Amino acid sequence: MEHRSLFEPTSMGAITLKNRIVMPPLTRQRSSQPGDVPTPLMARYYQQRASAGLIISEGTQIEPRGKGYAWTPGIHSQAQIDGWRTVTEAVHAEGGVIFAQLWHVGRVSHHALQPDNAAPIAPSAVQAQKAKAFIETGPGTGTLVEPSIPRELSVAEIKALVELYAQAARNALSAGFDGVEIHSANGYLVNQFISAHANQRTDEYGGSLHNRLRFLREVVQAVSAVVGSDRLGVRFSPLFSSTEEDRVYIGFVEDDPHQTYIEAIKVLEQEGVAYLSIAEADWPNAPDLPEAFRREVRSTFTGRIIYAGLYTATRAARLIESGMADLVAFGRPFIANPDLPRRIANGWPLNTLNTVGLYGGDEQGFTDYPRYFPGKAHA
């Protein structure tokens, strides 16, 4: 077996994982319309990849206002819960473990995606820059658009949003998920509260870093009360570069990203969260996370640490063996290789990613990637 450290079982809170290979949240825009309901095709897609030690679902919006992209699934209606149940049952039938990623885009939306064509909601009325929403223009067709100017939330509305996260967690359990991940990355709602660039409030949710972390803290506490801290993860995307390209792909570069995210991770440690997922910049020549930051992450957080980025199996195994990570996520390789763990273990070649069907569509580029069989001719 190659890269043996990737195949050592590990515990994660209340769950034992069969390997250290994670399928991270990957937006695929395949929900049925109207209603943003998960489909049997989606169940097949996740079932094909159940050999991962852990699957984290694509982002699933916790309420109608949380939607920033057409055709993404939700987890706030009974039809959506029932649709997700077909997914979790399919994954469990193959011995897999799957968490739901709870998602709210906040200001990264457009009034065409909002109930009653309203403005998106955000901590402050600051329009998202270098970001795009995606709206439907016809059956199966859509286009990227500039996000609309958002409306600032009242304190009462913020409190209600915290409860919406808790309700989404209840819905996830009802749908059969093994746990949930709070999406606090990539410039979306929780990240907007954390960031001094998007959060210009002067009340208890803004100003100081302690106040900007209040929404994260309250959401973590509310969701933990539903699912248990041992079945809860949180995802961050700290960025240590401020180039134009970096802002386009991630959203926020804090004035002091090291302090901002170490303090955010302390919130997770205090609440006993099972895992921390860190999404690294994942484009060619992207900036690496500083080693000093990785070391302080490890010394600050006692739960499981997942890194996701442009990892090869060799680089992932090296990171785990160094003690800096417990699991590593592979995004694009898992899209193209439903049997990715077996390919890694045996040193088999990987399928090439098909850019057709990455976002929206049918089976093409979604469930039609072949498994590898030794001795069989491969194109």
Tokens, residue 196: 């001094």
Q: How many CA atoms lie within 13 A of 298 on its CB side?
A: 15
Nearest Cα residue to 27 out of 190, 178, 183, 202: 183
Instruction: Output the six-digit token pair for 35.
Output: 């209603």
Q: How far apart are CA 148 and CA 132, in angstroms?
A: 10
Determine the Cα–Cα distance for residues 247 and 245; give it in Å rounded to an integer: 5
369 labelled catalytic: no
Three-state secondary structure along 160-221? HHHHHHHHHHHHHHHCCCCEEEEECCCCCHHHHHHCCCCCCCCCCCCCCHHHHCHHHHHHHH
CA distance 254 to 194: 9
Calpha distance 127→122 (Å, rounded): 9
Is the bond into 64 cis (omega within 30 degrees of 0)? no
Token look-up 């069907």 returns: 357
- Report how many helices (DSSP H) and strands (DSSP E) the chain contains, helices first: 12, 14
Active-site annotation holder among 165, 188, 205, 311 = 188
| DSSP H stretches of helix in the chain | 40-48, 78-93, 155-174, 189-194, 209-212, 214-227, 244-249, 257-271, 291-300, 313-321, 332-336, 340-346
**Which 8-state DSSP code applies to residue 229?**
G
* Active site (catalytic) residues: 188
